[in-house]
Amino acid sequence: MHTAWMEMAAGRGALGIGLVVAGVVVVALLLGAFVLGVRIKRRELPTPRPEEQPRLPDGGPVREVSERREPEEVPRSQDRLTPHRLKGHGNVSDRRSASQERPRWNEGSSGSFGSGGPGGG
């Protein structure tokens, strides 16, 4: 009977030692991650000083400008037209349109191509 108790106690002791070893490994991994984080942080650029922070322009905050522009004709050619041969960005010119009213689709039209609606007249 005495040997059964000793075997059980030895099993518990091995389990206890295993838990302690696992705990030490977890603590070592956490310390290693912390040290690695500190090293990486030291290599980063420092935080900007107050005088290096961005400032508003003298005229105040810049607002978005939305305006319509006159379309630019796409040149006709036998050769393949590449984007760098177009003026500006795409086919929009730098000329501001006389009418700044937003275009609306016709009443009764579907508003998009192929939506299955009856379409406008």
Quick check: pTM over 0.95?
no
DSSP string across the chain: -HHHHHHHHHHHHHHHHHHHHHHHHHHHHHHHHHHHHHHHHHHSPPPPPGGGS----TT-S-------EEEPPPPP-SSPP-GGGSSSSTTEEEEEPS--PPP-PPTTS-SSTTS-S----
Q: What is the pLDDT along the chain (121 residues), one digit of tens a residue?
A: 556 555 655 667 777 888 899 999 999 999 999 999 999 999 999 888 999 998 888 888 888 877 887 777 777 778 887 777 766 554 455 677 778 777 776 666 655 655 555 555 4
